[in-house]
Structure 1
Amino acid sequence: MVGAGLSGAVIGRTLAEAGHDITIVDTRDHIGGNCHTERDTATGVLVHVYGPHIFHTDDAGVWDYVTSFVAFKPYTNRVKTTARGQVFSLPVNLHTINQFFGKTMRPEEARAFIAETQADTSIDTPQTFEEQALKFVGPDLYETFFKGYTMKQWGCHPSELPASILKRLPLRFNYDDNYFSHRFQGMPEHGYTDLIARILDHPSIAVHLDTRFDRSKAGEYDHVFYSGPLDGFFDYELGQLGYRTLDFERFTHDGDYQGCAVMNYGDADVPYTRITEHKHFAPWESHDASVCYREFSRACGPDDIPYYPIRQVKEKALLADYVKLAETTENTTFVGRLGTYRYLDMDVTIREALDTAQGYLDALENRRPIPTFCKSPL
């Protein structure tokens, strides 16, 4: 297993329980990948080192899997945004709409108000992020809550982004401010690193940190599951796939800095996209001081941590070339967010890891070829 994050841990554990000996390598000095959490020694706050991760899923099997290793505490993600000198609730809901327009509308009134006075009905089939937003929420809500934030997050104008990025209309005509709508939501009581450590706790699993994968030694193993960057596996010989990365400006505060876990900043002239206050991600704990991150998004350089795959036309063309190259590689399966160049939530990552491991076992039993990808990156 190349990578000691969720993909490597879940596949490794599943195969270890089936009788295989597992070696996991990771270039970092800790397990958990970008889900890594650790205690801040000065404040005692459990910090999401690479940015916050909130577990939410409708997949009962995945929920049963993670809760079989550690206890999860209830957690509801309630996001706020500062825009135009006010604080609003996200996703855009009935309270946001009434506050923004200075009204006291009921759900039916608000729905009609948006459809009849705000939405751009001249847009039939939205092609871009901007058109998608204008068609459903109109220019005022778009300019305030989506445009500036999106420009900072993606580094380009929303008119250059595909409509698919705004997959579901983030607009609610009730007062529900739960950011997610999944049945199962929560946080591992002692953090994600504790969860992954429990998954890796098996006598047939050996973990080697501060260790770079050497492709020339892949033949020493029956099979390689690679969760690093797909283009990195091939030493970027066809070029680098595009990502956005994040910079964190960490600061501490004596007390409660912002009163919530996540405060977005929708105005384009504020350089950061949001501030996260990490003690609020564990509301069952009590801490006097606080650890906060200001979050900045920018283009990913060669030495940066890749976060969000861009997946626009140019990147998809290069991705197709790398997929062809990967399919010529023997005894290797590419997994996870980086290995398949797709943005994956944690629950999807775990589900695909479980399916990948089972697919491997089935292929061995039935003497079939082992897939290069559990799910095609294309």
Structure 2
Amino acid sequence: MQKEILIVGAGFSGAVIARELAVAGHNVRVIDSRDHIAGNCYSHRDEKTGVMVHTYGPHIFHTDNKEVWDYINSHCNMMPYTNRVKATVNNQVFSLPINLHTINQFFGKTCSPAEAKDLISSKGDASILEPKTFEDQALKFVGKELYEAFFKGYTIKQWGMEPKELPASILKRLPVRFNYDDNYFNHKYQGMPEEGYTPIVASILNHKGITVELNTHYDHESKKNYDHVFYCGPLDGYFEYRYGRLGYRTLDFEAFSVEGDYQGCAVMNYCSLDVPYTRITEHKYFAPWEQHGSSLCYKEYSRACGEDDLPYYPIRQMGEMSLLQKYLDEADQEKNITFVGRLGTYRYLDMDVTIAEALEVARHYTQAIAKDGDMPAFVINPR
């Protein structure tokens, strides 16, 4: 029953699948085109400041899934961490997500929770019965003032399009609280790995049944040498972009260091279009248990992803969805390969969901070979 497995991608998806299948007794080869493991979760310690840097932008671990929480804690020491985001708007600093403090500060009120609910309700556009766009959703539930202050400009910068062109689903769970809770996430389990994310992935990959090769690109010819391939790379890239490229946003980071503190928090959003970047992250605040005299920060810019850029966020608009369907149809015709992860399924995935899905994919494969059954191109439906 021992199988030869190839996994393309050494991020969380590939690493978790590799570990599970190696534990099950299979021989697993993991390749990655980059010169490091951990994908976009890769972290490193800055030589100049000593600060642990989230190289591809901040990653905060949060989940309600106990299995995933226990899994990641088995590979690191997870420290308590609460993500408290601030936003600069109209020359003032507010807390996000919008909460009772934000509402009272923005409108110059001292509302109770009930009064704040009534105030926001009075601001909402009751004429919008079925919100179809991001803009409709925001106007219906928070009104024009909060929408234009906190959502409109930031969304244009982040997605490169007007909010009226984006679906309401992006803002379905409108982040508004009528208490003073400024914890950005609602999940039961939240934390930050004490030594960053790279050692977690290294620990997951540390098994005698796993070999890892970096700076190595996938070659279609090599597929015949394996019983099964798990592909974490770009779905359209696998098919050599024969129908065109799926739409992504990419990020550019402008790093700078200062003595002392720069902004006093980990994340400061800049919601106005007058500021070209979306936010500034101060990385030492992602590890509050450490002490550093100097600080390293990232200004973060979002733009359309070009051919040579690193894809971050799938756009998944109507044009992309019709194009995606062509690739999904092609993938369904493939044999002995399963597409997984953010790039392989063209979906935005938080880390906890990535791990949960990788565990599910590994289980599905184990069950399939035990029953001499077929492994589908997609265990989790990306449509």
TM-score (norm 2): 0.98
C-alpha distance in 1, partners of 2:376/2:365? Answer: 8
What is the CA-CA distance between 1:371 and the residue it aligns to? Answer: 1.4
Among 26, 30, 37, the residue aligned to 1:31? 37
Among 116, 119, 122, the residue aligned to 1:113? 119
Among 55, 64, 70, the residue aligned to 1:58? 64
Write out aligned runs for 1:197-276 (5 A).
Answer: 197-276=202-281
Write out aligned runs for 1:22-101 (5 A).
Answer: 22-101=28-107
Write out aligned runs for 1:149-188 (5 A).
Answer: 149-188=154-193
Q: Could you tell me which amino acid in structure 2 is paired with residue 22 of structure 1? A: V
C-alpha distance in 2, partners of 1:268/1:84? Answer: 11
Instruction: Report the counterpart of residue 361 of structure 1 in structure 2.
Output: 366
In 1, are the aligned partners of 2:137 and 2:172 still within 8 Å (CA)? no
What is the CA-CA distance between 1:113 and the residue it aligns to? Answer: 1.0
Q: Could you tell me which amino acid in structure 1 is paired with residue 32 of structure 2? A: D
C-alpha distance in 1, partners of 2:172/2:69? Answer: 24
Say whether residues 1:196 and 2:191 are aligned partners. Answer: no
Secondary structure of the equivalent of 1:264?
strand
Q: Could you tell me which amino acid in structure 1 is paired with residue 188 of structure 2? A: R
Q: Could you tell me which amino acid in structure 2 is paired with residue 259 of structure 1? A: G
Secondary structure of the equivalent of 2:192?
strand
Say whether residues 1:296 and 2:324 are aligned partners. Answer: no
Among 7, 18, 30, the residue aligned to 2:13? 7
Instruction: Report the counterpart of residue 27 of structure 2 in structure 1.
Output: 21
C-alpha distance in 2, partners of 1:41/1:298? Answer: 29
Please list the CA deviations of residues 140-163 of structure 1 after superposition, one character each: whole Å capped at 9, or x if unmatched.
000000000000000011000000
C-alpha distance in 1, partners of 2:196/2:227? Answer: 33
TM-score (norm 1): 0.99
Instruction: Report the counterpart of residue 4 of structure 2 in structure 1.
Output: none
Please list the CA deviations of residues 78-116 of structure 1 after superposition, one character each: whole Å capped at 9, or x if unmatched.
000001110000000000000000000000000011112
C-alpha distance in 2, partners of 1:29/1:167? Answer: 38
What is the CA-CA distance between 1:366 and the residue it aligns to? Answer: 0.7
In 1, are the aligned partners of 2:341 and 2:349 still within 8 Å (CA)? yes
CA RMSD of aligned residues (A): 0.5
What is the CA-CA distance between 1:167 and the residue it aligns to? Answer: 2.2
What is the CA-CA distance between 1:66 and the residue it aligns to? Answer: 0.6
Secondary structure of the equivalent of 1:253?
strand
C-alpha distance in 2, partners of 1:169/1:152? Answer: 19
Secondary structure of the equivalent of 1:143?
helix
Secondary structure of the equivalent of 1:179?
coil
In 1, are the aligned partners of 2:113 and 2:178 still within 8 Å (CA)? yes
Residue identity over aligned pairs, in percent, reads: 64
C-alpha distance in 1, partners of 2:17/2:238? Answer: 19
Instruction: Report the counterpart of residue 132 of structure 2 in structure 1.
Output: 127
Which aligned runs of 4 or more in structure 1 are off by greater than 6 angstroms?
none
Secondary structure of the equivalent of 2:94?
strand
Say whether residues 1:137 and 2:142 are aligned partners. Answer: yes
Aligned length: 377
